């Protein structure tokens, strides 16, 4: 596994991946932040395209990503993460709406669990899922979620 750590306006982040694609984006303050595993190799060049796309997105110059994603999860999680990729830039969806679209009526809480387990936030836009009565949680914290939704123009007052 390869990794690169870097600093953004939102704090230090880490990309993790291998030849199959990106596996993780670790956000500051999330349960996935921290130090790389001892067997991992630091390789900034390997992540050059992902970093360039992420930097352009965070600067408001990019709306989608072209890098190869290779998240690992259960079949249900992978289905939810594919659903997240269908939420357009600048729009939001609720957990209940996600459950309906995925044919999983009444599974909003399970959808929330899968959204929260997303290993590639920003690339798989889990920040676009909000609670029925407000913003809802986010692995990178509420202030980062608000900043991302504001960047995309998808939050009231943005």
Q: List the structure tokens of 145.
A: 């979620």
Asked if 111 contacts 102 with a C-beta cutoff of 8 angstroms, the reply is yes
Picking from 133, 153, 130, 158, the residue whose alpha carbon sits closest to that of residue 142 is 130
* Residue of 126, 129, 130, 147 marked catalytic: 126
SS3 18: strand
Task: Report CA-CA distances (Å) from 97 to 1, 32, 106.
Answer: 36, 27, 10
Cα atoms in the 13 Å half-sphere on the side-chain side of 29: 10
> Is 50 noted as a catalytic residue in this protein?
no
Q: How many CA atoms lie within 13 A of 15 on its CB side?
A: 27
Catalytic site residues?
126
């Amino acid at each position: 596994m390869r990794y690169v750590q870097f600093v953004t306006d939102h704090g230090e982040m880490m990309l993790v991946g291998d030849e199959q694609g990106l596996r993780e984006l670790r956000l500051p303050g999330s349960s996935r932040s921290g130090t790389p595993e001892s067997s991992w190799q630091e390789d900034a060049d390997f992540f050059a395209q992902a970093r360039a796309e992420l930097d352009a997105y965070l600067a408001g110059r990019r709306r989608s990503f072209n890098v190869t994603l290779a998240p690992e999860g259960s079949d249900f999680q992978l289905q939810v993460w594919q659903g997240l990729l269908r939420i357009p830039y600048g729009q939001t969806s609720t957990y209940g709406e996600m459950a309906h679209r995925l044919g999983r009526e009444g599974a909003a809480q399970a959808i929330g669990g899968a959204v929260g387990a997303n290993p590639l936030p920003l690339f798989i836009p889990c920040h676009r899922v909000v609670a029925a009565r407000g913003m809802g949680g986010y692995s990178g914290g509420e202030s980062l979620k608000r900043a991302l939704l504001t960047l995309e123009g998808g939050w009231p007052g943005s």
